[in-house]
Amino acid sequence: MENSKNNLPFDTQELLDAMPDNERQAYTEVWELAALARPAFDTKGEKPASWNAVRNRIQSEDSDQITNTDSYLNSITDSAEKEALSEVWNIAGGIQKTSHEAPSKDRAWESIRTKISDISSAPAHTTHSNEANVTRLDTTPRKVSNTTTEAASSAKSSGNIYWLAAAVMMIGLAVWMWQITFSATVYTAPLGEIVSVQLDDRTTVQLNSGSELRVERGFGEKHRNVELAGEAFFDVEPGDTPFLVNTANAVVQVLGTSFNVRSWPGMGTSETTVALTQGSVEVYSNAEREFRQLMEPGEISRVRGVRTMPERVEALRIDEALAWRANNIAFNATRLIEAAAEIERRFNVSVEVANASAAQKTVTGFYLNPDSPEGILEDLASIAGLQLSFTNGKYTLK
């Protein structure tokens, strides 16, 4: 964009900046007041419907990407719609048939992944053998294939894969050295346990099983920033320094309040869900800090992926979001694969969902203070139309 053509201001802000002091003040007041006059326009409800329509239309136009019904079903992003249509499809053809047919996109990703497996620390998984079908990784094909391209191209440009390995080691060493120089306190809740901690500013944090809270040096003096991987309930001590909870993809900013943050790593796209019980917080994506959502008590907000605005989650209830604090388990349209991960953390057991399409099915249910995973897993199996087995210390749904 050209900045100034014939000394013309770039925009109104520049027009104001160029005014003499006394003028600028008066006009800036008008300009700022005018911003408040922006009419509110409620597109709630209309927007998702409209997006679905647009998406369906562009997808039917790009029909070359949809080679068969499986790939069409796989391309549906609305999980409820996907579930409903998949069910129809499965009943029509007998469930056996489709569960062995891996979608072509996944297969393409598999072959890429196998090729780069020596530079990736995550274990490769095979889609065709039932034993090795570890759907836990739940990779989002598009997102991950971007990463793959980057990794592959940098390996190519250096010409030698060992250079890449050496570079990774150097970075690892640098990170380690940085960590010992600027030591941080890391609180961890072991699997199967819920842990409460009190921070230096008297803020209390309840950590759900398998969660990690990292507190950098200088907390309570210079800053009040913490990093969370997992799920925690915060009761923040009021103070002048803003309290910031950083997750993989989002930031929750507070002054003094109580709220729950859920952001489990390793579930594909980074996702952070915030449930506010008291006071007020601001939620925003860490890559898109200008779109902030101010929350009110009782509200639940979610940041999905990077570069996105927080979205209100209407379907989830606050007591469900906080169920874990009283040792209860709540699923509300939770994907089976996520429900399995929740049970793994809560009971410190291994649960594998060895059926890629069933893993994406959603489940709903509430368990009051359950003391063993079996009953829940049996329910999940029957909802998803799978069999539960227990071998070699591991539960398998297939």
**Residues contacting another protein: total by CB under 8 A:** 44
Please provide the distance, in angstroms rounded to a whole number, between the alpha carbons at the two ends of the chain. 57
| Distance in Å, CB of 141 to another protein, minimum | 11
Site for another protein in 278-317 (CB under 8 A): 290-292, 307-309
- Find, among 294, 359, 370, 357, the residue nearest to 327 by Cα: 370
276, 257 in Cβ contact below 8 A? yes
Of 46, 118, 221, 319, the one binding another protein (CB under 8 A) is 46
Please provide the DSSP assignment of 3-48 as one string: S-STT--SSHHHHHHTS-HHHHHHHHHHHHHHHHTSPP---TTHHH
CA distances from 268 to 135, 227, 305 (A): 11, 19, 9
Q: Is 64 in the site for another protein (CB under 8 A)?
A: no
For residues 323-352, which are near another protein according to CB under 8 A?
Answer: none
Annotate 100-146 with DSSP letters as a single string: H---HHHHHHHHHHHHHTTT-SSPP--SSSSTT--GGG---HHHHHH
Q: Which of 11, 240, 296, 371 binds another protein (CB under 8 A)?
A: 11
Indicate which single residue of 17, 18, 51, 375 sits in contact with another protein (rule: CB under 8 A). Answer: 51
Work out how close the CB of 75 gets to another protein at its nearest, in angstroms, rounded to a whole number. Answer: 9
Spatial separation of the C-alpha atoms in residues 153 and 149, rounded to whole Å: 6
Interface with another protein, residue 152, by CB under 8 A: no
Looking at 20, 21, 22, 41, which residue binds another protein (CB under 8 A)?
41
Give the C-alpha separation, 347 to 193, whole Å.
8
Judged by CB under 8 A, the residue of 20, 21, 22, 36 near another protein is 36
Distance CA 372, CA 94 (A): 33
| H helix or E strand, kind and range, residue 207 | strand 204-207
* Segment lying near another protein (by CB under 8 A), choices 29-37, 87-95, 258-266, 320-328: 29-37
Rounded to 5 degrees, φ, ψ at 302 are -135, 140
Q: What is the DSSP string of 234-258?
A: EEPPP-SSPEEEE-SSEEEEESS-E
Does residue number 214 form part of the binding site for another protein (CB under 8 A)? no
At its nearest, how many Å lie between another protein and the CB of residue 155? Answer: 21
Nearest distance from C-beta of residue 394 to another protein, angstroms: 34
Which of 31, 71, 101, 297 lies at the binding interface for another protein (CB under 8 A)?
31
- Between 53 and 80, whose beta carbon lies closer to another protein? 53
Q: Single out the segment in contact with another protein by CB under 8 A; choices: 58-66, 187-195, 220-228, 346-354.
A: 58-66
- Residues 377 and 349 sit within 8 Å (Cβ to Cβ): no
**Chain positions contacting another protein, by CB under 8 A:** 1-2, 5-6, 8-12, 15, 26-27, 29-31, 33-39, 41, 43, 46-47, 50-51, 53-55, 57-58, 61-62, 77, 142-143, 290-292, 307-309
